[in-house]
């Protein structure tokens, strides 16, 4: 056999093997898709209607992070993820929790509430406070509220503190740590591997880029961070103390003295929490279940396996039972458009859970072109992002104001940097005392890798038609004159930011500059400095918008969201009518929650940096998100 013949034979064998793999892969996918369709159709025809038992307890059991707006996942992809067990980080909508509590208080079938935070990962203080207020309103119905978990972390305990009775496992604990701001600094590591990160910024307190500049937090950042962290901690202590009929100092003492208290109790966490009156009883699951059967009655229908269950309905089942399948807008000629801006601000089109400059601008345009819309309430829950995308959004908001629409901003947990950029021109800005806002500054980053390349004998050289040719190639050193160009652009961007805020807030640029410099403020401190107008909830902002538009008590609230494609709507409708949806309601184990939290903490900053896509590389971002 000749060498040529051998080569041809080898090629034919390799080609045949590749064809086999390719066809096998596609066949496998087709089989999986067919199985999915069979399961979907089967579940549709076996659909069971959710019924709320008379005298039941509503289980308020948020899953994962409590968010302003859930991250969008394509309905088909969501079904495939669920089928494979790859659900990703769980999320619960704040609006869903408030909706459930408001309706359950009036529902005669609901005799009480059980707060189960076992699978809740965390929430921002503004969201916790909104739920706390809703729990207080629920309690005015006279229905009892119980809380049950083996372990309470800080955000979980905040919700539990509103219960009439708080149960904890005898081997459980209540862990209150206070609030902190800790970041990973890797300047020395970058120096070690030779990566040269060129940082351009304006603002003494613009600390977002400090991990690339230093190995520790600067004194300026510590000063600013400590100030707003104290506001959050004071609010937490005050709210919990009021709910538990304790003092804020009691909560402070519990946290500060915890190591000694644990030593005195010989390591008995639950005993420490009970003696501090943070919980009312120590119960194991069997004891708690028996008490709830006594309170709400047994759900036993003649089956031995559920004779110890009590009458109950989960939050998601309750939503399915009471929420209409299609929410139609009212016929009122006066409307207030509620638009949510949640997540990092990125250029272009983005799914829900992130703010796309073009995407959000289109939603605002829909409100602007609707003659029935008399006012817009923009709910901002964002730490910022792209300066260009922020400006695209701001321009559309100005167009809406020019069209006669009143504009009110309601700030959530964060409305900082780019989040403030899009808020500044509102007729009124509302925030909670614990909102994190401000961070009026701007930065840019440009890494070059010439040192590690040169170390291994890789060099670059060439010619160009102008001095600018190849000026910003990441494999070559950045020349000082080009660095000066970037800094001038950053300076111009900061001046533009100051101008926007000064016009929007009716302040001089000099006065804005004094409270800007990239400094982060709490909502409480921002009010004192003129960056916000009022402190209050989202509902307060909606009421204010109605007053400004002279339509109080005579309007419909319309939520404007990014619309699904016809295909996505069809799949979503099919899934919501099927029992496949029940997969969403499956509880996440505590171990999975713990692992997910670690993954989130480790990857969050890198993911955010990787997603930045401003055309000029200019960012108004505070990177001030607290760890859950």
Please list the active-site residues: 206, 417
Phi and psi for 113 in degrees, rounded to 5? -130, 140
Query: Tell me, what DSSP letter sits at residue 304?
Result: G
CA-angle at 235, arms to 230 and 236, nearest 5°: 100
Q: How far is Cα of residue 500 from the mean position of the Cα atoms in its chain? A: 27
Measured CA to CA in angstroms, residue 285 lies from 62, 63, 303 at distances of 19, 20, 20
Distance CA(163)–CA(160), nearest Å, equals: 6
Distance CA(443)–CA(203), nearest Å, equals: 9
Beta carbons within 8 Å of 502's beta carbon, 6+ residues apart:
508, 509, 511, 512
Kindly write down the DSSP assignment for every residue of 375-418, as one continuous string.
Answer: EEEEEEEE-EEEHHHHHHHHHHHHHHHHTT-EEEEEEEEEEETH
CA-angle at 295, arms to 289 and 298, nearest 5°: 65
- Residue 328 burial by Cβ neighbours in a 10 Å radius (0-12, 13-18, 19+): exposed
The DSSP bridge partners found for residue 273 are: none
Phi and psi for 56 in degrees, rounded to 5? -80, 160
Distance CA(52)–CA(46), nearest Å, equals: 19
Token output for 416:
């900082």
Distance CA(212)–CA(37), nearest Å, equals: 50
3-class DSSP state for residue 349? coil
Question: How far apart are the two ends of the chain, measured CA to CA in Å?
Answer: 68
Query: Tell me, what DSSP letter sits at residue 62?
Result: -
CB atoms within 10 A of CB 564: 15
Measured CA to CA in angstroms, residue 538 lies from 103, 123, 151, 437, 506 at distances of 18, 16, 31, 16, 24
Distance CA(452)–CA(433), nearest Å, equals: 48
Token output for 301:
């229908």
Query: Tell me, what DSSP letter sits at residue 90?
Result: -
Distance CA(551)–CA(560), nearest Å, equals: 19
Q: Look at the alpha carbons of 237, 243, 244, 246 in this order and tell me if their dihedral is positive or negative.
A: positive
């Amino acid at each position: 056999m000749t060498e040529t013949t051998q080569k041809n034979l080898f090629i034919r064998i390799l080609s045949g093997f590749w064809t086999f793999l390719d066809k096998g892969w596609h066949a496998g996918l087709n089989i999986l898709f067919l199985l999915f369709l069979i399961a979907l159709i089967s579940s549709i025809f076996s659909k069971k209607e959710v019924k709320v038992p008379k005298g039941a307890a509503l289980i308020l059991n948020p899953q994962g992070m409590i968010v302003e707006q859930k991250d969008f996942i394509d309905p088909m992809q969501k079904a495939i993820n669920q089928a494979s067990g790859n659900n990703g980080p769980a999320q619960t909508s704040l609006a869903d929790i408030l909706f459930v509590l408001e309706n359950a208080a009036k529902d005669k079938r609901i005799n009480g509430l059980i707060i189960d935070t076992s699978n809740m990962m965390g929430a921002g203080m503004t969201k916790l406070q909104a739920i706390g207020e809703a729990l207080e309103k629920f309690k005015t119905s006279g229905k009892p509220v119980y809380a049950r978990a083996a372990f309470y972390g800080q955000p979980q305990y905040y919700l539990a503190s509103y219960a009439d009775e708080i149960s904890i496992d005898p081997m459980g604990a209540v862990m209150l740590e206070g609030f902190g701001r800790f970041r990973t600094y890797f300047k020395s590591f970058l120096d070690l591997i030779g990566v040269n990160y060129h940082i351009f910024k304006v603002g003494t307190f613009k600390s977002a880029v400090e991990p690339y500049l230093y190995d520790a937090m600067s004194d300026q950042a510590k000063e600013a961070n400590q100030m707003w962290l104290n506001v959050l901690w004071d609010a937490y202590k005050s709210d919990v103390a009021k709910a538990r009929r304790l003092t804020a100092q009691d909560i402070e003492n519990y946290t500060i003295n915890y190591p000694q208290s644990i030593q005195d109790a010989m390591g008995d966490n639950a005993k420490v929490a009970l003696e501090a009156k943070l919980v009312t009883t120590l119960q194991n699951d069997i004891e708690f279940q028996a008490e709830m059967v006594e309170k709400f009655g047994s759900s036993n229908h003649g089956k031995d396996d559920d004779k110890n269950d009590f009458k109950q309905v989960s939050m998601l089942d309750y939503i399915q039972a009471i929420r209409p399948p299609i929410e139609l807008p009212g016929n009122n000629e006066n409307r207030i458009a509620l638009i949510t801006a949640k997540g990092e601000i990125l250029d272009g089109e983005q799914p829900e859970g992130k703010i796309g400059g073009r995407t959000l601008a289109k939603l605002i345009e829909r409100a602007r072109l609707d003659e029935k819309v008399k006012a817009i309430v923009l709910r901002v829950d964002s730490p910022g992002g792209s300066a260009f995308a922020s400006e695209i959004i701001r321009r559309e908001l100005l167009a809406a104001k020019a069209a006669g629409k009143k504009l009110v901003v309601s700030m959530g947990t964060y409305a900082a940097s780019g989040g403030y950029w899009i808020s500044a021109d509102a007729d009124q800005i509302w925030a909670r005392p614990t909102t994190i806002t401000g961070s009026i500054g701007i930065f840019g980053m440009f890494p070059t890798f010439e040192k590690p390349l040169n170390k291994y004998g890789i060099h670059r050289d060439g010619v160009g038609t102008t001095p600018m040719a190849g000026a910003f190639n990441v494999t070559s050193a950045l020349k000082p004159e080009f660095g000066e160009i970037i800094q001038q652009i950053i300076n111009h961007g900061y001046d533009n930011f100051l101008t926007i805020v000064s016009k929007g807030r009716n302040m001089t640029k000099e006065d804005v500059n004094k409270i800007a410099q990239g400094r982060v403020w709490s909502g409480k401190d921002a009010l004192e400095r003129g960056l916000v107008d009022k402190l209050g909830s989202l509902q307060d902002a909606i009421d204010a918008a109605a007053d400004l538009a002279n339509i109080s008590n005579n309007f419909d609230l319309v939520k404007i969201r990014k619309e699904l494609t016809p295909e996505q709507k069809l799949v979503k409708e099919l899934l919501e009518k099927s029992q496949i949806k029940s997969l969403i309601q499956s509880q996440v184990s505590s171990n999975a929650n713990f692992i997910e939290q670690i993954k989130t903490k480790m990857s969050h900053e890198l993911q955010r940096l990787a997603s930045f896509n401003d055309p000029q590389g200019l960012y108004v971002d505070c990177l001030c998100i607290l760890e859950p």
